[in-house]
Amino acid sequence: MKKVGILGVGKYLPKKILTNADLEKMVDTSDEWITTRTGIKERHLVAPDEATSDLAVKAARQALEHAQLKPEDLDLIIIATITPDVPFPATACFVQNKLGAKNAICFDISAACAGFIYALGIAKQFIASGTCRNALVVGAEVLSSITDWKDRSTCVLFGDGAGAAVLGEVEKGGILSSYLGCEGQYTNLLYMPAGGSRMPASQKTIDERQHFIKMAGNEVFKIAVMSMVEAAQTALKQAGLKCADINWIIPHQANLRIIDAVAKRLGFVNAKIYLNIEKYGNMSSASTATAMVEAAQEGGIKKGDIVLLVAFGAGLVRGATIIQW
């Protein structure tokens, strides 16, 4: 099997910023509540003419440039998203067309906040087996399109954005382990009820606000901590590494309190934890993606550093991957 690593990274955040002060004017909330309960200060939101593929393409172009590859060099595009441009075809097909990546296999994966880690794991298999040479993996979300702006328990949490990575064969390091898991008994804790085959769109589903994110926040919180700890420990074991070997932790950015609890339980003494929740909120698959990109671009990940990505989300899914940069 070939070694597979990251050749280039890129990100894109839409221009509009919604602050906690703005939200105070929309629902019964406060900057103090949002900051202390979540760690979020502001989030980016798309313009009316921007869809998920638009964000993904901008992040992808940056990642391709960084990797010094052309769109035609890509033979696989995976978009991790729960907010596709349309229910079908896959958002990856729109991205392929806009990039001009005519040689790429294209599909989306729906693994919510663990989507970027799932997509990295899948792309790795394609390259390691020799089926593909260069893959584009993007975590891209327009969560504002499925956010209920009248529900204060969820609307303060989410944002829009995209983070991309180009993967290919490397001589040393690369993806050392990839653990993916799911606890399907918890699908009812975080989901969007309508718009699928179970409850197709109707006037009734619109009137009942069923096309928005529903979340039992408290219950998700409790499972999230253990889930991320177990995922990280499994990925470490698979890679034959200890906590002390990790230089960087890139956790899913759902809640600062969850991240603190996970870090405490794992006891990562030397690792730096990269955070961007304060400025972006929870962007589902785009959270770990943009955090990894920023840690590489601005945060100082150096060649040879060992990086742990860990996430959980609707499903409830979880994933952890260890990458030697």
Note the residues at the interface with ligand UT7 (CB under 6 A): 29, 33-34, 37-38, 113, 152-153, 156, 190, 217-218, 220-221, 224, 254-255, 258, 282, 313
DSSP 103: T
Considering the complex, state which of residue 84 and residue 168 has its C-beta at the smaller distance from ligand UT7. Answer: 84
* CB-based contact 275:38 (threshold 8 Å): no
Provide the greatest CA pair distance for the chain.
Answer: 56
Considering the complex, state which of residue 57 and residue 316 has its C-beta at the smaller distance from ligand UT7. Answer: 316
DSSP 100: T
282 included as an active-site residue? yes
Query: One-letter amino acid identity for 273?
Result: I
Catalytic residue among 20, 134, 247, 282: 282
Angstrom CA distances, 108 to 56, 96, 162, 163, stand at: 12, 12, 14, 15
Measured from the Cβ of residue 180, the count of other Cβ atoms closer than 10 Å reads 19
Considering the complex, state which of residue 133 and residue 279 has its C-beta at the smaller distance from ligand UT7. Answer: 279
Kindly state the smallest distance separating residue 319's Cβ from ligand UT7, in Å: 13
DSSP 113: G
Considering the complex, state which of residue 153 and residue 233 has its C-beta at the smaller distance from ligand UT7. Answer: 153
* The two three-digit tokens of residue 155, written as one number: 């609307």
Considering the complex, state which of residue 157 and residue 271 has its C-beta at the smaller distance from ligand UT7. Answer: 157
Beta bridge partners of 167: 6, 135
At a CB cut-off of 8 Å and minimum separation 6, what does 226 contact? none
Angstrom CA distances, 277 to 46, 109, 116, stand at: 17, 23, 16
Pairing mode, strands 306-313 and 248-251: parallel
Kindly state the smallest distance separating residue 255's Cβ from ligand UT7, in Å: 4
Kindly state the smallest distance separating residue 22's Cβ from ligand UT7, in Å: 13
Kindly state the smallest distance separating residue 254's Cβ from ligand UT7, in Å: 3
Kindly state the smallest distance separating residue 165's Cβ from ligand UT7, in Å: 20
Q: CA-to-CA distance for 311 and 163, rounded, in angstroms?
A: 15
Kindly state the smallest distance separating residue 100's Cβ from ligand UT7, in Å: 33
Considering the complex, state which of residue 175 and residue 259 has its C-beta at the smaller distance from ligand UT7. Answer: 259
Catalytic residue among 20, 252, 255, 276: 252
For ligand UT7, the nearest residue by Cβ is 217
Catalytic residue among 93, 113, 132, 155: 113
Contacts within 8 Å (CB) and 24+ apart, 181-184: 181/230, 181/231, 181/234, 181/317, 181/318, 181/319, 182/315, 182/316, 182/317, 182/318, 183/223, 183/227, 183/315, 183/316, 183/317, 183/318, 184/315
252 included as an active-site residue? yes
Residues tagged active-site = 113, 252, 282
